[in-house]
């Protein structure tokens, strides 16, 4: 499967961004532009999201291998990128580094850990809200926003979700594979069993200080798999890059300049 990608900057990419659940690569556009002109970035749509293809089941390891294959095809056997992954994309990025360390120059993991994240289960509520929309009778994005407002009161979160809604012929449809993702929430919240080894490269662990996703018990498994981890907390919730874009750019720039 070829993954949809958007390039920010000119020349050979140095950074790859992997978005979170319900997201798209373009969610990182502001951050990627903030790193130019020194760093060119490739923003990938993960499987079942954005403009990338769909799969019949969810598998973190298979997704990490797909990203590795895509990077190698785009950049050749000498590809070495700094990989930034948020939430679901952070788990994919961690597995990419563990399974294909030759492709990963450095790793930035944003507000997630190599462990269960079921305690952050607002995502199940968001899926329920999206599934409640009657796409067959929907006539406008404004109507969709109004229908979601009762279940998703935050307008920024609604806007984030509705970026996935598009017209296909005469009807609205979701760009993401919502039914499969809904059925796969236990796997999405989990971490693959039997993951071994460690990644010895530099790792930035960027966390939101108001987020529920990273807890004290996650420190040990994170540092066991990624002994080079340096943690930085920013004044943000789970969507660190949206809540604190300037600080995110500054911390990422410093990390990239030193790795």
Q: How many domains does the chain have?
A: 2
The rounded distance, in Å, linking the Cα atoms of 197 and 195 is 7
Question: pLDDT value at position 120?
Answer: 56
Do residues 238 and 111 both lie within one domain? yes
Same structural domain, 203 and 246: yes
pLDDT of residue 92: 98
Residues 68 and 16 in one domain: yes
Looking at the fold, whether 127 and 250 belong to one and the same domain comes out as no
pLDDT of residue 90: 98
Q: Quote the pTM value.
A: 0.95
Shared-domain flag, residues 11 and 97: yes
Structural domain including 60 reads: 5-117+191-258
Domain match, 96 and 169 both: no
List Cβ neighbours of 176 (8 Å cut-off, separation of 6 or more). 22, 48, 49, 50, 164
Same structural domain, 198 and 89: yes
Provide the token pair at 258.
């030193």
Residue 61: Cβ-neighbour burial (10 angstroms; 0-12, 13-18, 19+): middle
CA 213 – CA 8 distance, rounded (Å): 29
Are 15 and 111 in a shared domain?
A: yes
pLDDT of amino acid 125: 86
pLDDT at 119 (0 to 100): 64
Question: Given this model, what pLDDT does residue 169 score?
Answer: 77
pLDDT by residue for the chain (259 residues), tens digit each?
A: 889 999 999 999 999 999 999 999 999 999 999 999 999 999 999 999 999 999 999 999 999 999 999 999 988 867 899 999 999 999 999 999 999 999 999 999 999 999 988 765 578 889 999 999 999 899 999 999 999 999 999 999 999 999 999 987 778 999 999 999 999 999 999 999 989 899 999 999 999 999 999 999 999 999 999 999 999 999 999 999 999 999 999 999 999 999 9
Give strand pairing partners of 42: 7, 16
pLDDT value, residue 101: 96
Among the three residues 142, 164, 182, which one is the final residue of a domain in this structure?
182
Q: Does one domain contain both 128 and 148?
A: yes
Same domain, 17 and 111: yes
pLDDT at 124: 81
Of 182, 203, 225, the domain-final residue: 182
User: Same domain for 132 and 247?
Assistant: no
Check residue 184 and give its pLDDT.
94
């Amino acid at each position: 499967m070829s993954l949809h990608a958007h390039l920010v900057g000119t020349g050979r990419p140095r950074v790859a961004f992997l978005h979170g659940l319900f997201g798209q690569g373009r969610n990182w556009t502001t951050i990627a532009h903030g790193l130019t002109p020194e760093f060119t970035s490739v923003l990938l749509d993960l499987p079942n999201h954005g403009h990338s293809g769909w799969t019949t089941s969810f598998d973190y390891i298979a997704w990490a291998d797909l990203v590795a294959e895509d990077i190698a095809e785009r950049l050749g056997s000498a590809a070495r990128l700094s990989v930034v992954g948020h939430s679901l994309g952070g788990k994919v990025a961690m597995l990419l580094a563990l399974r294909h360390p030759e492709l990963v120059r450095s790793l930035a993991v944003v507000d997630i850990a190599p462990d269960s994240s079921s305690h952050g289960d607002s995502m199940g509520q968001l899926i329920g809200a999206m599934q409640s929309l009657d796409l067959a009778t929907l006539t406008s994005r404004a109507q969709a926003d109004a229908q979601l407002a009762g279940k998703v009161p935050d307008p920024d979160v609604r806007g984030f979700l509705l970026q996935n809604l598009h017209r296909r012929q005469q009807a609205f449809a979701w760009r993401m594979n919502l039914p499969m993702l809904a059925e796969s929430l236990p796997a999405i919240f989990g971490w693959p069993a039997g993951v071994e080894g460690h990644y010895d490269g530099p790792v930035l662990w960027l966390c939101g200080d108001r987020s529920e996703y990273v807890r004290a018990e996650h420190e040990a498994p994170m540092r066991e798999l990624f002994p080079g981890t340096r943690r930085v907390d920013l004044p943000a919730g789970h969507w660190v890059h949206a809540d604190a874009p300037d600080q995110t750019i500054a911390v990422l720039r410093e990390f990239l300049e030193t790795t």
